């Protein structure tokens, strides 16, 4: 469950997948992930709003990206819409809470952090080879990927949620071994209080 959460909040952020230690056994998986996301980006109705979670509108593109991530991380099993909405609700609730607390990472800082990730990938032969597989499937060059507004926005969301996590755990009077449980409970509470509306 922990790996799934990381993949979902890091969707299309290959560098973050690598940094968090998520590695697929076969490099073909990276190509298939990129290919699936690339095909979703080309859909004519990708910007259609399919759900509202909290104050956030979820487009068909966003919904299908998350659905693809869950499917690949679950060895291709059938994924119900409720499972996708549940994952989205977790991400949205965390992101909205972070912004409410004034913890949103700026675009400028996001780009700086992205460059650090890019350098880490370039300096690791295995990560670089996997990243190229991902880009080949996505149909983008290295430069196009790192300068893509959608990529930047997704990294910004991930970094912002990370700021929230650091803030919450630093203020909690708990033992180090209890941090995962504390964060899981905090996340569940936020998610359970957010309103989800599916639009047909």
Asked if the model's pLDDT at residue 106 lies above 80, the reply is yes
pLDDT surpasses 80 at 24: no
Provide the pLDDT for residue 34.
Answer: 87
In the chain, % of residues over pLDDT 90: 56
Q: According to the model, what pLDDT value does residue 196 have? A: 94
The hierarchical CATH code for the domain 2-198 is: 1.10.4030
Predicted pLDDT of residue 37: 87
pLDDT value for 186:
96
Residue 12 has pLDDT above 70, yes or no: no
Tell me the three-class secondary structure of the chain, residue by residue: CHHHHHHHHCCCCHHHHHHCCCCCCCCHHHHHHHHHHHHHHCCCCCCCEEEEECCEEEEHHHHHHHHHHHHHHCCCCCCCHHHHHHHHHHHHHHHHHHHHCCCCCCHHHHHHHHHHHHHHHHCCHHHHHHHHHHHHHHCCCHHHHHHCHHHHHHHHHHHHHHHHHHHHHHHCCCCHHHHHHHHHHHHHHHHHCCCEEECC
Residue 15: what pLDDT? Answer: 45
pTM of the model: 0.84
Domain ranges of the chain: 2-198
């Amino acid at each position: 469950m922990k790996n799934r959460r990381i993949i979902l909040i890091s969707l299309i952020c290959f560098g973050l997948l690598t940094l968090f230690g998520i590695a697929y056994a076969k490099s073909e998986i990276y190509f298939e992930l990129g290919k699936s996301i690339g095909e979703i980006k080309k859909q004519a109705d990708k910007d259609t709003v399919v759900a509202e979670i909290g104050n956030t509108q979820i487009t068909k593109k966003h919904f299908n990206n998350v659905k693809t991530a869950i499917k690949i991380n679950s060895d291709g099993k059938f994924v119900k819409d409720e499972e996708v909405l549940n994952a989205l609700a977790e991400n949205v609730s965390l992101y909205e809470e972070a912004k409410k607390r004034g913890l949103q990472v700026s675009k400028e800082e996001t780009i700086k952090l992205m460059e650090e990730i890019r350098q880490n990938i370039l300096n690791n032969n295995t990560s670089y080879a996997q990243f190229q597989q991902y880009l080949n499937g996505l149909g983008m060059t290295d430069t196009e990927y790192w300068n893509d507004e959608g990529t930047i926005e997704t990294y910004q969301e991930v970094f912002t949620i990370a700021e929230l996590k650091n803030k919450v755990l630093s203020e909690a009077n708990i033992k180090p071994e209890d941090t995962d449980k504390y964060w899981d409970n905090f996340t569940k509470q936020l998610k359970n209080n957010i309103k989800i509306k599916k639009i047909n």
